[in-house]
Structure 1
Amino acid sequence: MKRSFVGRIALFILTNLAVVAMLAIVGRLFGVDSFLARQGSGLNLTALLIMSAVMGFGGSIISLLLSKTMAKWSTGARVIDSPRTEAESWLVHTVQRLAHDAGIGMPEVAVYDSPDMNAFATGARRDSALVAVSTGLLHNMRRDEVEAVLGHEVAHIANGDMVTLTLLQGVLNTFVIFVSRVVGFLVDRFLNRSEDGEERGGTGPAYFFTSLVMQLVLGIGASLIVAWYSRRREFRADDGGATLVDAGAMARALNRLRMQHGEAAMLPSNMRAFGIRGGGMLALFSTHPPLEQRIQRLVDGSWRGGRARYATDGAV
């Protein structure tokens, strides 16, 4: 059976949500939410903001620190410590050269078994990242196209995309947690009034239900922002691939993906680390721009306006 797995960004978001949910459950078990509601009708907004930031950034930072481990586990990727074949030797040396040109430390290089043409990069630090490619990509693309794909992934690392995504996700998590609990508190106070109009102390079921619903709704909105940022970072990574290798090879690699999979097949449940898109409303949740748009930028030269610049030995 073909191994299925989620994309690196989807995996990051899911891990982040799981950690935030775990922290929220632990907080409630220890009475943190009840503590935030002062005696009477007030809400300790300062304490709530601090708690929201700890939970929000805690979730995203832990997700980042686990990103390499989770990626290896989810794909079954094998890190190439000692190349077994000429292709693996070429792969390691190519990544080494591109990393040097981009001014970053040598990433771990891994290969995973999959007929799909895919690649991904992840890691918490620019000088200690992971670049992995599928066997399908190695077998079905020309070497100049594979090199362009590797340049795209190295550019993700050089641009610090995972760290920036972590900070963005942390800010959004903090906002979601803070606002959902404020709204939950206000709704609970409105419904928890006595017949004479006085507010009862403590928090009731309405607080937990409302804050949960609001967290889900606001979380969807936050995911739209993360997806929008991810689409922008894909353009920058394309620019990096074109700069480090060749715009033509980068365009051909994307076109090979488009021709093999077709746009209708670019939104499966498994990871599309290099070319994901959806149609209609799904496009708002897509982490990658349309392939046609990415290819057109490379073909008509408009990518040069936003190209990444690296301190390289004549590579730019």
Structure 2
Amino acid sequence: MKRILLFVLTNVLVVAVLGIVASLLGVNRFLTSNGLNLGALLGFALVMGFGGAIISLLISKPMAKWTSGVRVINQPSNADEAWIVDTVRKLSEKAGIGMPEVGIFEGAPNAFATGAFKNSALVAVSTGLLQGMTHDEIEAVIGHEIAHVANGDMVTMTLIQGVMNTFVVFLSRVVGSLVDSFLRKGDQENSGPGIGYYVTTIVLDIVLGFAAAIVVAWFSRHREFRADAGSAQLLGRKQPMINALARLGSLQPGELPKSVAAFGIAGGIGQLFSTHPPLEDRIAALQNAQS
């Protein structure tokens, strides 16, 4: 709950700073002269930027269950399921978080964690992961996902995405107004935004959206190193996490739905938009870390 309150406070502060800077630079007068209202624009940016992000966060668990076909283990039906639940419980207690829901989904090797609150998260592993790894390696993967939850990565990623979205929405419309004003210079007959505003806004929404995605992906890659280290700390040794990553390198990791892809144990590599760093880099970081 504290993270959610911090999320809301940050949203308000970001919009407030945008409003103050815009006023100091005279953007508010410029927007008014072109038929736009600074307060309305800030409100629109807030709703479009943070509104969508917070809704996505709040529905992340049910969406993950639905899109991935997760079967929640309410009552273990065999020894393997009992072991998974006990492992999640043990590592959650070590991490100081509430017991997450535990689930299994069909597919190639992968796992993920999601949820708006760290004391009511979801940790799910695939059948391919359970079949292709040893217990030590599976435990390390579960530790990695528990570390994501304990670090509050779901909320942090949502916050960063919301900030990026807000800046994209605000800047694209300010620049659109500037371009429209230049194109319609001397035109006294028409008021309000024209075609230049709408075209520029659409183009900048796309261009700046790509730039924002690069920033979010960079942070996501950094977050993976922390979760790997967190797993090693929870287990008291780093070799199981190293072995698990090496095993993933020899397997074909399964693709996850977009809503939870950033929180999987593995993802695409070698690209600006990748949410996960190369497995070799993650292994090297663990090997070079102090024990």
- Quickly name the TM-score band, shorter chain normalised: 0.7 to 0.9
Following TM superposition, by how much is the alpha carbon of 1:259 offset from its aligned partner in structure 2, in angstroms? 1.6
1:166 aligns with 2:158: yes
Q: 1:95 aligns with which of 47, 65, 88?
A: 88
Partner of 1:45: 38
Q: 1:226 aligns with which of 212, 216, 219?
A: 216
Would the alpha carbon gap of residues 70 and 297 (structure 1) be closer, same or farther in structure 2, given more than 3 Å must change?
same
Q: 1:139 aligns with which of 120, 131, 150?
A: 131
Would the alpha carbon gap of residues 268 and 73 (structure 1) be closer, same or farther in structure 2, given more than 3 Å must change?
closer
Gaps of 5+ in 1: 1-35, 305-316
Partner of 2:57: 64
Partner of 1:130: 122
Letter in 1 for 2:87: T
Where in structure 2 are the equivalents of 1:1-316 lying within 5 Å? 38=32, 40-41=33-34, 43-114=36-107, 116-194=108-186, 198=188, 200-245=190-235, 246-261=237-252, 273-279=264-270, 283-302=271-290
C-alpha separation in 2, matches of 1:199 and 1:237: 59
**Taking every aligned residue pair, what percent have the same amino acid on both sides?**
55
Give yes or no for contact 2:109–2:128 (8 Å, CA) kept in 1.
Answer: yes
Give yes or no for contact 1:120–1:153 (8 Å, CA) kept in 2.
Answer: yes
Following TM superposition, by how much is the alpha carbon of 1:50 offset from its aligned partner in structure 2, in angstroms? 2.6
Give yes or no for contact 1:121–1:132 (8 Å, CA) kept in 2.
Answer: yes
Deviates more, 1:117-126 or 1:44-53: 44-53
C-alpha separation in 2, matches of 1:41 and 1:87: 65
Following TM superposition, by how much is the alpha carbon of 1:157 offset from its aligned partner in structure 2, in angstroms? 0.1
Following TM superposition, by how much is the alpha carbon of 1:276 offset from its aligned partner in structure 2, in angstroms? 1.9
Work out the number of aligned pairs and report it: 258
C-alpha separation in 1, matches of 2:240 and 2:247: 10
Would the alpha carbon gap of residues 139 and 267 (structure 1) be closer, same or farther in structure 2, given more than 3 Å must change?
closer
C-alpha separation in 2, matches of 1:218 and 1:49: 17
Following TM superposition, by how much is the alpha carbon of 1:45 offset from its aligned partner in structure 2, in angstroms? 2.2
Letter in 1 for 2:134: R
C-alpha separation in 2, matches of 1:254 and 1:44: 52
Give yes or no for contact 1:121–1:157 (8 Å, CA) kept in 2.
Answer: yes
Letter in 1 for 2:181: R
Letter in 1 for 2:247: R
C-alpha separation in 2, matches of 1:72 and 1:135: 15
TM-score, normalization by structure 1: 0.77
C-alpha separation in 1, matches of 2:274 and 2:189: 45
C-alpha separation in 1, matches of 2:257 and 2:52: 23
**Secondary structure of 2:116 counterpart:** strand
Letter in 1 for 2:109: M
C-alpha distance after superposition, 1:148-183 (max 9, x if no partner) = 000000000000001011111111111000000111
Following TM superposition, by how much is the alpha carbon of 1:70 offset from its aligned partner in structure 2, in angstroms? 1.3
C-alpha distance after superposition, 1:38-72 (max 9, x if no partner) = 4x436422331232112211010001011111111
C-alpha separation in 2, matches of 1:219 and 1:53: 16
Give yes or no for contact 1:180–1:210 (8 Å, CA) kept in 2.
Answer: yes
C-alpha distance after superposition, 1:193-212 (max 9, x if no partner) = 34xx6473111222112101
